Structure 1
Amino acid sequence: MKAKWREQSKQGKVILHGMYGNSDVLPTPSPFVLKLETYLRLTKIPYEVDKVDFWGPKGKTPWISYEGEHLADSQFITEFLSRKFGKQLANKYSIKERAIGTMTRVMVEEHLYWAGVMWRFAFGGKDTFQKVLRGEKSFIQWLIFRLIAPQMRSSAWSQGVGRHNETEIKAIMLNDLRAISTVLGQNKFLLGEEPCEDDCSVFAGLASAVFSTNSPLEKELNDELSNLKEYCYRMKDLLWPDWESHMNKLKQN
């Protein structure tokens, strides 16, 4: 399979391999796939999407094929493409601002992400089968959830965040979102008036909480954290004008 993509990727486009579908509100259930496609849209790097062969090197999704090479890990990919295409978007900001962007991204991907895993696959997923009975989810979606959930909870336990209870998980999420909200302040984007690479990570990490119908922090996102909600809609409008049509196409498929 990888040999096929090696040849196809020599045609000048980045091939983005990722997990798509199985989400009612997002183009992909993976924040890292959403991060990478958002980055490709932001930088206008030519790409095409492969939704079938989504597990790549290191057993990770997303991964890319480009010029006969395969590369995994969304951050390694972003840094590789930034060098390859000369797209260092954060260079317009100061060294200190870029450091703040890096720390915010790491918090989103290495801390908030795991709290989100627990909410989705442990606490927030309790009523998944009831949604099937009400016709709000397909049986296939429920089956995938049942197959994936134990593995995700096990990974979260090994990481450490998965050892906390529901109240503690919600507190972790709220504290992280408050920190991001403080960094964002009145900025249009994370560091200022223009988006950079770290915006792709932050947007992708927040998207599930902002756009999901069962977000545990819906009240806070409409109140003290409203700048995060406005930020996500701003990123969506800028880079995903086809969000709704994209979602409809996924549902039809």
Structure 2
Amino acid sequence: MSQTIDPKWKEEYKKDVVYLHVIPRSRARDVVNISPFAIKLELWLRINEIPFETIDCQGFSKKGQSPFILFNGEEIPDSNFIIEYLSKYFNKNPYPNLDASEKATARAFVKMVEENTSWPIFVYRYVENIDEYADYFSTDQPMEVRKQILGKLQEWVGKRAHGHGIGRHSTGEIQQIGCDDIQAISDFLGNKKYMMGDTPTVVDCSVFGVLSQVVYVPMGYPMRKYILENCSNIIDLFDRLKNTYWTNWEEQCKM
């Protein structure tokens, strides 16, 4: 389903400005972007006050991924590699104020959220409930077009989910996996300000990027119901992140 592009460096692109290429924001409703990784990366840039510009892009990186960045004449794909690269360039720490053991825990949460917790969301909206998701996807397009796109995604995501392993389970089992992950996030967060303490880290960006897809989109996600009924501290975390670092979130959701 991915279509790679050959991004052209433009003369007006400024040195040391990150040009963040994301799936067009018009494809999302009630959330800034349908890609949790685009949201994760933009939040990280905001927290670390790195100059950036977000660019809607139909294509994908040389690795077939979105988001990707153009930075000082170079294309860099994959949100985690992008953060690693920019952290070194701008002398930022993705895990500030953490010791080695805490960094290990933080990395484990990032991997759980991005490689496990995200899948029940993708399966719900792209495989099992595309008619429901059509009301929240590419709403600038006619419904017939939306369903055609989602029909193609249904087969592609279904195959990837089966290859991952999670797609081999029943609907109830898949959603239980997602809810169990959410409970683990909530239990670890507890009464802390952010996931790892008083300072936001890349873990908060990953959690926000992935779970914003269910918290803010009023579909029938079992994971959404679970968060709203059982995990008020996650909602508080999200409000804190938006109010501190993404004050124009609501405005951008309408773009």
TM-score (normalizing by structure 1):
0.89
Farther-moved stretch of structure 1 (48-57 vs 204-213)? 48-57
Which residue of the partner structure matches residue 85 of structure 2?
Answer: 80
Which residue of the partner structure matches residue 51 of structure 2?
Answer: 46
1:158-177 aligned at under 5 Å gives the runs: 158-177=163-182
| CA-CA distance at 1:148 after TM superposition | 2.1
Which residue of the partner structure matches residue 98 of structure 1?
Answer: 103
- The question of whether the paired residues in 2 share the 8 Å contact of 1:121 and 1:152 is answered with yes
Which residue of the partner structure matches residue 20 of structure 2?
Answer: 16
1:184-199 aligned at under 5 Å gives the runs: 184-199=189-204
Q: Which amino acid aligns with 1:198?
A: V
1:28-47 aligned at under 5 Å gives the runs: 28-47=33-52
| Cα 1:231–1:54 shift into 2, 3 Å | farther
- The question of whether the paired residues in 2 share the 8 Å contact of 1:25 and 1:211 is answered with yes
| CA-CA distance at 1:198 after TM superposition | 1.9
Distance 1:60 1:98 in 2: 26
Deviations 1:174-209 (A, max 9, x none): 111111111111111110111012211111111112
| CA-CA distance at 1:226 after TM superposition | 1.7
| CA-CA distance at 1:125 after TM superposition | 2.7
Which residue of the partner structure matches residue 225 of structure 2?
Answer: 219
| CA-CA distance at 1:219 after TM superposition | 3.3
| Cα 1:128–1:89 shift into 2, 3 Å | closer
* % identical equivalent positions: 30
Aligned match of 2:115 in 106, 110, 113?
110
Distance 2:201 2:71 in 1: 22
SS state of the match for residue 33, structure 2? coil
- The question of whether the paired residues in 1 share the 8 Å contact of 2:83 and 2:94 is answered with no
| CA-CA distance at 1:138 after TM superposition | 4.5
Deviations 1:7-57 (A, max 9, x none): 554533111111022121111100011111111111111111221254112
Farther-moved stretch of structure 1 (106-115 vs 144-153)? 144-153
Distance 1:78 1:101 in 2: 15
Distance 1:67 1:223 in 2: 46
Deviations 1:226-247 (A, max 9, x none): 2112212221222221111112
| Cα 1:9–1:69 shift into 2, 3 Å | farther
SS state of the match for residue 76, structure 2? strand
| Cα 1:69–1:53 shift into 2, 3 Å | farther
Which residue of the partner structure matches residue 27 of structure 1?
Answer: 32
Distance 2:56 2:141 in 1: 21
Distance 1:176 1:28 in 2: 22
SS state of the match for residue 20, structure 2? strand
State yes or no: 1:71 paired with 2:76: yes
CA-based RMSD of the aligned residues comes to 2.2
- The question of whether the paired residues in 1 share the 8 Å contact of 2:131 and 2:147 is answered with no
Distance 1:88 1:127 in 2: 40
- The question of whether the paired residues in 2 share the 8 Å contact of 1:27 and 1:247 is answered with yes
| CA-CA distance at 1:160 after TM superposition | 1.1
Distance 1:127 1:137 in 2: 15
The structure with more helix, counted as a fraction of residues: 1
- The question of whether the paired residues in 2 share the 8 Å contact of 1:16 and 1:49 is answered with yes
| CA-CA distance at 1:119 after TM superposition | 1.1
Distance 1:52 1:36 in 2: 15
| Cα 1:3–1:31 shift into 2, 3 Å | closer
Q: Which runs of 5+ in 1 are unaligned?
A: none
TM-score (normalizing by structure 2):
0.88
Aligned residues: 246
SS state of the match for residue 71, structure 1? strand
Q: Which runs of 5+ in 2 are unaligned?
A: none
